[in-house]
Structure 1
């Protein structure tokens, strides 16, 4: 329909998701009644605009009147002056889909008429009022083989309770002869045309709009997110609930994830139009992909130290804690290579989000020949807290590091007290490494939203094994 909003905007959002059969989802969405109501308002406004442009065919025929004979009539140049849909509702039908009803609708039509009875001919104009028009539409939501959402109007019925037609002309008795015939014919034609228009709009407007939902989202040169549908959304008494795969994958090599998603149970919240549930599985598959791609390896050199920090990354600084360094590698620049032996996993619970990464720190001296001489290998662990937000349709994050713990795994320069390096490593982690990570997290990962959907009034809550994002929806029409 007009402006590509032929049906339910938030229904499209629900249809972009799906139920997982054998396992738990990595991502979940709930469209509440408030969301469906918002969608209904936009959909009915678009339907009203579409129906007001209906083209009605000319009507002609004849009928026999006792003691009069055959009456020939013709109605032409039919034009809808208005079509109003004042009252409507939408509700989910459990295990079926959605049902939209429109009641108390009314329309006005005008046109020209012509009639002939024997030698009597007359013509003029007419006004026709349609009152108490009722429309019921059933929508079935599904997915195709590629995981794209689908929608189908499985049923449409229309009923007009009252039609009144007013003719202009000289022979009042003549108009009354075919008054009821015209009204009956017009009722049948309009009821058919309305449903024909609805069915056509679902296929030509709603279905293409659903296809704007990205079932995969490219993040960068290394990773993407799989948002493909795996089953139709499930209608409950109060909402549309739907699950999707919610899994990061490598663009270079799409391999299976070695762990299953945990259970994801939504609380009965209905204050917002839509709720997203991002499982710990969703975030941890991202960690797997970036770890395998080598993106969690960081190299720190002296040139990367912020100007506000009053020291340099060289053997002279470290010789205060490791005296033998000055003898073996006097006044040489150093490089630190930080890597994670395994992908760090995010834990989500009612108390918040956290992770305990394990990091290996390999220190090198940079020789005059630019080659590297290994110095020592440290193991660093610590508590890192995470905060998540949603901005411009993206999930964004920020990390804050707590106290770090160091241990010596290997030394090429002899034994030394690791605890003496604690404060320096804290500075490297919080002053250099963490800002780089947070700059990347600020770019975020896109939520699965169809075209021209914007979120507002966002709220976030952490639950066991998943983060819940609640939001209201705004559909931005073109033009």
Structure 2
């Protein structure tokens, strides 16, 4: 489809400079050039589909009025050897094509009274064909991108005709008006074809999922917050870039901080994911009750000496061994507020405030509460791009514990540090990593791939620099 790549890139990670954008993206000149290359290929294929209508009419010649018709025209060759793409600040992009050529063939017939009747075939070569079109890129009321042609011009330079069949003296008479009529027919059909081609793109762009489901708890909103900002050198675009509970779009108690993408142009596309976007995920999962986990002894590595039973805990809290001897235990770990993600240069940390409720499992399976701990955990995160997703891996930095409530009398919390470090490192962290390894979808369309992606952690946002490849 005409200018497919460029306009898709414009639509994908739509980010503008508005402060409400949680995600920002920038299409560089390199990205536009890639779009031009495959856009020209697509345009060439589209132009090959031109179906020129039959032409007929009457011409006044020296011998009188001559009726003529031109039928069965087919394109046999077409080339777009020169093209250029440039940005139109505040509007969109302009594609210009020069020195294009078209070769076609067809049939001709002339009639003059009852005296002259002749027919044959012809070959026509059009050279110095030029096309210039400006495409506006905006957002519609649903937050999806939309494109439209605001200006299109097509000019046909040289037209040469070679006739076959009939009397040779007719060719010179016929040449002037067949030349004129075919030139006009071509010029009239090229711009409507380009305009229709651009309009077709909107059908595809409307299929963009502005709400991308992540899992049973969350969805990501990818709607554009405003129309693209287009300068002489780049296109900046803006997405809401926010997690929501499925079907419940409640805003978190914090807002995106403004940030600027650095002036880099090595890659085709740059994507900035703000700390706001990532923190909105924590808000959503905490609100949905997804950040809670029951831990049983079967989840503890078999080689660990620290078991979830009253015998092990009784070594540090004798009251437990006396009050609930020989029982297995269960822990409930749940966040008390949304985790806070902090982004600093080359460093991403997550601070999670949780509480841990320890239960003894009675013979009748009833859970008897033993104590409640406040648990503050700090983890470091390594984030990376895999396919069309943003994924990660976390490691534990430290945990701090304090006693919130005890049903077995006072005890020294520090004595449980080894046990809970084992629980966090060997159970909770692997669970978290299994989830973040699945990744969170980046917006995409068609058969798009991210190539040679690199990710940097900067102040308050992640920066992804990547090239793009379309395989179909």
Give the aligned partner of residue 203 of structure 2: 208
Say whether the 8 Å CA contact 1:383–1:403 is kept in structure 2: yes
Cα deviation for residue 99 of structure 1 reads 0.8
Q: Kindly report which structure 2 residues correspond to 1:104-115, keeping only aligned pairs within 5 A, or say none.
A: 104-115=99-110
Q: CA deviation at 1:188?
A: 1.2
Alignment match, 2:27: 31
Using the TM superposition, give the Cα deviation of residue 255 of structure 1 relative to its aligned residue in structure 2, in angstroms.
Answer: 1.3
Whether the aligned pair in 1 keeps the contact of 2:354 and 2:375 (CA below 8 Å) is: yes
Structure 1 match to 2:8: 12
Equivalent in 26, 31, 46 of residue 50 of structure 1: 46
In 1, the alpha carbon distance for the partners of 2:385 and 2:206 equals: 23
Note if contact 2:15-2:237 (Cα within 8 Å) is conserved in structure 1: yes
Q: Is the 8 A contact 1:130 1:163 kept in 2?
A: yes
2: CA distance, partners of 1:93 / 1:20: 16
Question: For 1:141 and 1:292, how far apart are their aligned partners in 2?
Answer: 37
Match of 1:247 in 2: 242
Q: How does 1:109-188 map to 2 (within 5 A)?
A: 109-117=104-112, 119-169=115-165, 171-188=167-184
**Greater Cα shift, 278-287 or 418-427:** 418-427
- What residue is the counterpart of 1:227 in the other structure? 222
The answer (yes or no) to whether the contact 2:90–2:230 under 8 Å persists in 1 is yes
Match of 1:199 in 2: 195
2:25–2:269 CA contact under 8 A, matched in 1: yes
Q: How does 1:5-404 map to 2 (within 5 A)?
A: 5-18=1-14, 23-66=19-62, 68-117=63-112, 119-169=115-165, 171-204=167-200, 206-404=201-399
Alpha-carbon offset, residue 301 of structure 1: 1.1
1:444 to 439, 450, 461: 439
Q: Do the aligned residues in 2 keep the contact of 1:13 with 1:450 (CA within 8 Å)?
A: no
Q: 1:472 to 1:103 in 2, by over 3 A?
A: same
Name the count of aligned residue pairs.
Answer: 471
Describe the shift of the 1:22–1:46 C-alpha distance in structure 2 as closer, same or farther (beyond 3 A): closer
Query: Which whole-Å deviations, capped at 9, do the CAs of 1:89-112 have from their partners, x for residues lacking one?
Result: 222211011111111111101112
Most deviating of 293-302 and 170-179: 170-179
- Deviation, structure 1 residue 200: 1.3
Map Cα deviations across residues 158-200 of structure 1 (whole Å, 9 max, x no partner): 0111111111246444322232322122111101111111111
What is the CA deviation profile of residues 319-358 of structure 1, one whole-angstrom value per residue up to 9, with x for unaligned ones?
2222222112212111111122110111112132112212
Q: SS of the residue aligned with 1:45?
A: helix
8 Å CA contact 1:17–1:149 kept in 2: the answer is no
| 160-169 or 20-29: bigger deviation | 20-29
Is the Cα contact below 8 Å between 1:12 and 1:209 reproduced in 2?
A: no
Question: Which stretch shifts more, 465-474 or 6-15?
Answer: 6-15
Task: Give structure 2 stretches of 5+ with no counterpart.
Answer: none
Contact 1:214-1:450 at 8 Å conserved across structures: no
Contact map agreement 1:17 1:232 (CA 8 A) in 2:
no
Residue 229 of structure 1: how far off its partner (Å): 2.0
Which secondary structure does the structure 2 equivalent of 1:152 belong to? strand
What is the CA distance between 1:214 and its match in structure 2?
A: 1.1
Q: CA deviation at 1:407?
A: 2.1
Shift of 1:82: 1.4
**Are the counterparts in 2 of residues 16 and 148 from structure 1 also a CA contact under 8 Å?**
no
Change (3 A) 1:155 1:308: farther
Report the TM-score when normalising by structure 2. Answer: 0.95
Contact 2:16 2:228 in 1 (8 A): no
User: Normalised by the size of structure 1, how large is the TM-score?
Assistant: 0.93
Query: Hey, what's the Cα distance between the residues in 1 that align with 2:425 and 2:306?
Result: 15
3-state SS of 1:356 partner = strand
Tell whether the 8 Å contact from 2:26 to 2:271 is kept in structure 1 after alignment: yes
How far off is 1:19 after superposition? 5.3
